[in-house]
Structure 1
């Protein structure tokens, strides 16, 4: 399989990022020391990761932590267990969340939308009810709410329920083939087309297998 033959011009925030074959090769070798895993990462997957690392500061190690968890049952993931897509057109493919500090706000929003934060605020106000509205008491109230918010995040982490964005991959013959990195809100057909394109470029033998899922 020929790897890293394309040069990409990526437009992000009105700035153009140029990614050469040399860039991708050095990036993949540096961050993925296991050659067996590296051989099952599509060029598109590595390009997605390279772009996120160089435009929004995403730490690639967070993604490779999830890859290690997928490859080895001994390594524990902090995010939700990998899940198979059940609806077309992605049916039969898999996705795994990865976490970064960029997603802390999203995890807190999920916890808060389930009504947990209202209970924390209610308990905090009840605790300070009847006390004078001094600066010290107001600070203490805000601190209790903040600590409660932090506890919500920690509980999601302890339950391996942290959410982030997706590593999209295929499982074939007990091996994972990592296709791309995508956002939850991306249209399913766009993700599927991206996967098929990755297969045609890097894993041509997988095309009929993945197409058979539909």
Structure 2
């Protein structure tokens, strides 16, 4: 019988460990990253999806670290929803922040087009042609079709990103970076899809207590190990 190879992240994914560690070093200021989150990012860097069969997910380590940098006050402008706090259940006291990557574009464009509707198109065409009268009843040209596509994609994305200036309930949507605010800096715990079951989130949060026992006081309802 062939020997079973025991997989070791630090031994078997050296290049990916170095890449993720460099990303984190460039993003963190006062905050600290759990071993779980670091290893999640290494796995993703190696292009390995995580999660149960039928609900696999892959997240961009650079996108997660860009969001960490925003929370640390050292990143570029904030364009995603959050941070928001869990207000009930065993995760109460912890917070989550959306992070954005290219694969989330379609959902954001769908959300924006559903909200703004045909106004997206008319605004673009009127701005280009000068008036509503020049657009109403117009036979579409190839140029107009290009303008419509640009209205949905470029303008829709930029509009949704710019809405973050209104507050944490606004901006681009994505998946979740879970963290805790603690004395001395944030404790970044793990990433998870927004569809994750509460039991899975709790298990991940509990796993981070070994690194950050102070989180038990922040999320006082977190079940003891």
TM bin (shorter chain): 0.7 to 0.9
Q: 1:138 to 1:36 in 2, by over 3 A?
A: closer
1:112 CA displacement: 2.1
- CA shift at 1:208, angstroms? 3.2
Give the SS at the match of 2:189. strand
Question: Residue 190 of structure 2: SS of its match in structure 1?
Answer: strand
Q: More strand per residue: 1 or 2?
A: 1
Q: Deviations over 1:140-195 (max 9, x none)?
A: 34223212112121111122201211110111225211111110111122112111
Displacement of 1:60 after TM fit? 2.4
Distance 2:36 2:193 in 1: 15
Report the secondary structure of 1:95's partner residue. Answer: strand
Q: Does 1:21 align with 2:24?
A: no
- 1:46 deviates by 1.2
* Matched length: 191
- Kept in 1, the 8 Å contact 2:90–2:219? The answer is no
Which position in structure 2 is the counterpart of 1:42? 34
- With over 3 angstroms needed to count, the CA separation of the structure-2 counterparts of 1:93 and 1:165, relative to structure 1, is same
Cα offset, 1:39, TM superposition: 7.6
Greater helix percent: which structure?
A: 1
Contact 1:65 1:77 in 2 (8 A): no
Name stretches of at least 5 consecutive residues in structure 1 with no aligned partner.
1-7, 10-17, 132-136
CA contact (8 A) 1:90 1:192 kept: yes
Once residues 35 and 156 of structure 1 are traced to their aligned partners in structure 2, the CA distance between those partners, rounded to angstroms, is 24
Q: Quick one: which of 45, 48, 54 aligns to 2:46?
A: 54
Q: Assess if the C-alpha contact under 8 Å between 2:67 and 2:75 holds in 1.
A: no
Task: Give me the whole-angstrom Cα distance separating, in 2, the residues matched to 1:73 and 1:30.
Answer: 15
TM-score, normalised on structure 1?
Answer: 0.74
Is 2:96 the counterpart of 1:86? Answer: no
Residue aligning to 1:140: 143
CA offsets 1:105-130 (integer angstroms, 9 cap, x no match): 1111111222x133335776x82625
Change in Cα spacing, 1:181 to 1:80, as seen in structure 2 (3 Å) is same
The reply on whether 1:159 has 2:167 as its aligned counterpart is no
Q: 1:74 to 1:99 in 2, by over 3 A?
A: closer
In structure 1, what is the equivalent of residue 189 of structure 2? Answer: 179
> SS of 2:32's equivalent?
coil
